Chains A and B, each alone.
Chain A
Amino acid sequence: MIDVDRVEVATLSIGDELEVEVTDSLDRTDFVRYAGASGDFNPLHVDEVYARNAGYDSVVGHGMLVCGYVSQVVSGWLGIQFISTLDVRFVSKARPGDAVIVRCEVVSCELRDDETVTDVAVEAVDRTGRTLAEGNVTVLAD
């Protein structure tokens, strides 16, 4: 579950961190619910037989589900209206039973043309520390 206390972007400093456990165990219903909500019905995410035939041990989560978790955590933390860019690379597959933990760390704060430009490194990992996705978010605030 994502329920993050908002902070003011202007108060951020390099090194500020946030860690949110989005779920302690993904289940297949999470993939089905996201498929229905997003319109991505790739059978790799919902059809066990198809996934096994494609060489996976089970169905795997949508990359965009993990990207969505990252986006929602950052949006809740800093305010969706301040997000200027979001860039996520998919590193490994989320599987049923995996926890998903989203980590954010402020890596730079600069004043440019009266705007504060803040870069936040983001990562989603499972409980073993395996990276599911990683990337960067840029936040602009007056």
Chain B
Amino acid sequence: MPDHDLETLRKRIGESKTVVEGFAVEAGKVAEFVSSLGDESMIYRDPDAAADSGLRAVPAPVTFVRTSVFPRYRTSDNGKDPVFDLGFDPRYELHAEQEYDIERPVYVGDVLTGEATLTDVYQREGTDTLLTFAVEAIEYRDDTDSSVLTERMTFVETLPERES
């Protein structure tokens, strides 16, 4: 049974670990990802088009860093987000919110690392449900150790009825 003792879960806030290594942003992967979003813009495919738009290289979409979840880039045992196992039941786990703080665009050619931090855990009572929220941040840094982008994912477990 999931451990929903809020105080126990909250003691884990601030836990941090490196979960992404050698995340090489490749042109073909960016083009594939952009195509999956139905975006026809050439700036994501052609260095000249990117330069004409004032970009120093072909950019990856803001949401591209989600592809860091591929096993090629994840450190062992961190192949799924949230990487912090809070005992959520996957049948009732939902992605509630996604946020990005962006220092600069991710570019083709970047090689990124990512450090995940459990930044918050809280509960709310719903109608006949207990909602447990967890917020995980991943900060991506480039090979000069400069911060590029931080994504924050809020996951919620919506238990249909309170378990004791």
Taking the complex as formed, is B39 at the interface, i.e. its CB lies under 8 A from any CB of chain A? yes
Q: Which of A40, A67, A80, A84 sits near B98, CB closer than 8 Å?
A: A67
In the complex, chain A residues whose CB is within 8 Å of the CB of B98 = 63-64, 67, 86-88, 90
Q: Which of A30, A75, A89 sits near B97, CB closer than 8 Å?
A: A89
A to B contact number (C-beta, < 8 Å): 109
In the complex, chain A residues whose CB is within 8 Å of the CB of B34 = 72
The minimal Cβ–Cβ distance linking B148 to chain A, given in whole angstroms, is 13
| Chain A interface, number of residues (Cβ within 8 angstroms) | 37
Decide: A85 and B36 in contact? CB cutoff 8 A: no
Decide: A34 and B95 in contact? CB cutoff 8 A: no
Taking the complex as formed, is B63 at the interface, i.e. its CB lies under 8 A from any CB of chain A? yes
A29-70 interface code vs B (CB 8 A; 1 in, 0 out): 010011011111000000000000010000000011101110
Decide: A69 and B61 in contact? CB cutoff 8 A: no
CA distance A85 to B101 in the complex (A): 5
The minimal Cβ–Cβ distance linking A10 to chain B, given in whole angstroms, is 13
In the complex, chain A residues whose CB is within 8 Å of the CB of B62 = 71, 75, 80, 83, 86
In the complex, chain B residues whose CB is within 8 Å of the CB of A22 = 38
CA distance A4 to B42 in the complex (A): 12
Taking the complex as formed, is B122 at the interface, i.e. its CB lies under 8 A from any CB of chain A? no
Decide: B99 and A85 in contact? CB cutoff 8 A: yes
Decide: A38 and B66 in contact? CB cutoff 8 A: yes
Q: Can you name 10 A-B pairs with beta carbons within 8 Å?
A: A3-B39, A22-B38, A38-B36, A64-B98, A65-B37, A67-B98, A83-B62, A85-B101, A86-B99, A90-B98
Identify 18 new A-B residue pairs, CB closer than 8 A, beyond the known A33-B36, A72-B37, A72-B41.
A30-B36, A30-B38, A37-B67, A39-B67, A39-B70, A67-B98, A68-B37, A68-B61, A71-B62, A75-B62, A80-B55, A83-B102, A85-B100, A86-B62, A86-B102, A87-B99, A88-B97, A90-B97
